[in-house]
Amino acid sequence: MGASSRSKRLSEDRPLASTGLALRPRRSRSVLHSSERAATALSLGFVTAFLTVIVALPIAALIWASKKRGGSDFWQAISNPEAVAALKLTITVAVIAALVNAVFGTIIAWVLVRDEFRGKSIVNALIDLPFALPTIVAGLVVLAFYGTSSPLGIHVAFTRTAIVLALLFVTLPFVVRTVQPVLIELDKDMEEAARSLGADEFTVFRRVVLPNILPGILSGVTMAFARAIGEIGAIVLISGNLPYKTEVSSVYIFLRNQGGDPAGASAVAVVLLSISFAVLLAVGGVRRFATRFERA
Amino acid sequence: MLSRKLTLRSLAFVYLLMILVGPLSMIFWRIGKDGVTNAWDALIAHDTIHAFQVTLTIAIIAVPLNTLFGIVVSLAIVRKKFPGKGLVNAFVDLPLALSPVVVGLALFLLYGRTGWFGSWFISHHIQILFALPGMVLATIFVSVPFVAREVVPTLREIGDDQEQAARTLGASGWQTFWRITLPSIRWAVIYGVVLTTARCLGEFGAVAVVSGSIQGKTETATLRVDEEYQNLNYAGAYGISLVLAAIAILVLIIMTVSRPKEGTA
């Protein structure tokens, strides 16, 4: 609502602003324009150069390196049984971690928005910790908590369960942080109306709350999935990196490259790169879907 | 009604305890168990101090560059029309969704012996891989999105009424930026800088590929944690982790303090 009234106000202001400009002496207006054009060109040049050197060229070099020995070598590197096993494991653990955090992330977001308790602001700040903490530290502490010297007596180190636990730690904030703002904005009247019409709590959640927070959950889950697919720091200590058992794709790429086979590593890396692009497209799609009524 | 609230609250608390707080408290528990003096000795060891210096050096180069880029690219995305904007957006977001190992490998292939740039740098005796430049490039890559992701929504929200007004009153583009735009996005910039710094200090995967983890040379603080753990020097691993966690908590505090002010800026 605020945004639409603002844009309306903006469009009303624009003619005024341009009238103001037109009233200025001609010379100063043309000076303004040429210096502005120069500034625009400079900033766009900087952006292009920065992105080319930092992001685009390395990505291009990666794709080129994976293809330069020909398509058959590429497919051979991809279909290497160890690489396939690693990729299957990576996708499985990433899906599990993303889904578990979809459920608990939604619960945590709900508790943070609708519940009142002491120390809420501390809990709220704590949610961002996995974003601030180095992932190798995350892996180390999860290993200490669930490893051989676990104070709980739960020993899952070097298993697939351990990988999922480490991924739950690092992907925890995504769904919480995408659902929380939607819940804050959500009008409670709709829920009250549903209740007064006789809907039980579950129905209110399923029919009123869920449709509203679903885009938030989806984009959070997708980003959590992408993060989980590429994670290495949190996993490398706790998984034991056993080929065919607990070796994920990022570790496979790392070890392949270190072992002197950058081409084999690059083929699997291109697969992860494609997943990343697909994820970004999906998130963009979700965002467009969620805001489809706002534009009209 | 009340019991439902309590159920959800307990579910959230138990989950946070098992996934987040429990593991994190292990740093203190393990340091107590493995000996505070051992942890301290590992922290003041020459290689550890050097590792922290390397991490700091990388951050000092990467954070200002990414801050400048973040502000410029946000202004371009929100305020300008240009061809290829979609591509710019995609490249800015890509590091969020891409594995740091893939980033490291991409740089490794570009600057390696057979890479497009590798042979030129090698023939001019400029070392990129297994040296600081490669580690800086890797760290800049992974922390590209953080400033822009905070500044873009803020720029959209504030609109350009005030900027238009300043221009109408005869302010130059430069003046408008310093007097109007920057003050209104400053909390978003601070928030983005804090996130960028945290990401730079914590980077592991991309730097691991390009640095070669040469002890006392190209080892960062996070690589040092890994090294200490592999060498079974657990006290050292947890000691360094404690310092890194303390920095992370400091980051959280700054984030919490700068968050509520965003709306009023």
* Domain match, B30 and B52 both: no
In sign, the C-alpha dihedral spanning B248, B251, B256, B257 is positive
What average pLDDT does range A217-235 have in this prediction?
95
Q: What is the pLDDT of residues B46-55, one digit of tens each?
A: 999 999 999 9
Cβ atoms within 10 A of the Cβ of B128, count?
22
Whole-number average pLDDT of chain B: 91
Residue of A nearest to B242 (CA): A137
| Best B25, B73, B101 residue to mutate vs chain A (most A CBs within 10 Å) | B101
Q: Which residues of B touch A57 (CB under 8 A)?
A: 110, 116-117
Under 8 Å CB-to-CB from B214, ≥6 apart: which residues? Answer: B130
Burial class (CB in 10 A: 0-12, 13-18, 19+), A148: exposed
- Domain limits at B202? 35-262
Would you state the pLDDT for residue B265?
Answer: 34
Q: Which of A23-27, A153-157, B218-222 has the highest mean pLDDT?
A: B218-222
Q: Do B252 and A126 touch (CB under 8 A)?
A: yes
* Domain match, B20 and B145 both: no
| Best A6, A24, A135, A141 residue to mutate vs chain B (most B CBs within 10 Å) | A141
| Side chain identity at residue A118, one-letter code | R
Q: What is the pLDDT of residues B91-142, one digit of tens each?
A: 999 999 999 999 999 999 999 888 888 888 988 999 999 999 999 999 999 9
Q: What is the pLDDT of residues A16-61, one digit of tens each?
A: 444 444 444 444 444 556 777 888 899 999 999 999 999 999 999 9
Any idea where the domains of chain A sit in the sequence? Answer: 18-67, 71-295
Task: Round to whole Å and give the CA distance between B60 and A262.
Answer: 30
* Domain match, B51 and B175 both: yes
* Domain match, B1 and B67 both: no
Contact at 8 Å (CB) between B201 and B2? no
Tell me the three-class secondary structure of A142-155, residue by residue: HHHHHCCCCCCCCC
Interface of A with B in 71-100 (CB under 8 A): none
Q: Which of A67-71, B97-101, B233-237 has the highest mean pLDDT?
A: B97-101
Whole-number average pLDDT of chain A: 86
Q: Do B69 and A249 touch (CB under 8 A)?
A: no
pLDDT of B240 over the 50 cut: yes
pLDDT of B262 over the 70 cut: no
Q: Do A135 and B204 touch (CB under 8 A)?
A: yes
* Domain match, B125 and B192 both: yes
Q: Which residues of A touch B165 (CB under 8 A)?
A: 17
Would you state the pLDDT for residue A220?
Answer: 94
What average pLDDT does range B86-92 have in this prediction?
92
Q: Do B101 and A232 touch (CB under 8 A)?
A: yes
Instruction: Kindly state the greatest CA–CA separation across chain B.
Output: 73
Would you state the pLDDT for residue A11?
Answer: 40
Would you state the pLDDT for residue A35?
Answer: 76
* Global ipTM: 0.92
Q: Which of A84-88, A190-194, B77-81 has the highest mean pLDDT?
A: A84-88
Contact at 8 Å (CB) between B98 and A276? yes
Cβ atoms within 10 A of the Cβ of B259, count?
14
Q: Which residues of B touch A152 (CB under 8 A)?
A: 22
* Domain match, B61 and B73 both: yes
Q: Do A62 and B73 touch (CB under 8 A)?
A: no
What average pLDDT does range B203-223 have in this prediction?
93
* Domain match, B156 and B191 both: yes
- Number of folded domains in chain B? 2
Would you state the pLDDT for residue A81?
Answer: 95
User: What's A71-295's CATH class?
Assistant: mainly alpha
Task: Round to whole Å and give the CA distance between A251 and A256.
Answer: 8
* Domain match, B1 and B127 both: no
Would you state the pLDDT for residue A26?
Answer: 46
Would you state the pLDDT for residue B260?
Answer: 52
What average pLDDT does range B169-188 have in this prediction?
90
Considering only CB atoms, B97 lies closest to which of A55, A134, A276, namely A276
Q: How far is CA B47 from the centre of its chain?
A: 23
What average pLDDT does range B196-208 have in this prediction?
95
Task: Round to whole Å and give the CA distance between A60 and A151.
Answer: 47
* Domain match, B47 and B125 both: yes
* Domain match, B129 and B27 both: no
Q: Which of the residue ranges A212-226, A280-294, B48-62, B244-258 would you say has the lowest mean pLDDT?
A: A280-294
Q: What is the pLDDT of residues A228-277, one digit of tens each?
A: 999 999 999 999 899 999 999 999 999 999 999 988 899 999 999 999 99
Would you state the pLDDT for residue A17?
Answer: 41
Task: Round to whole Å and give the CA distance between B263 and B188.
Answer: 10
State how far residue A224 is from chain B, nearest Cα, in angstroms: 9
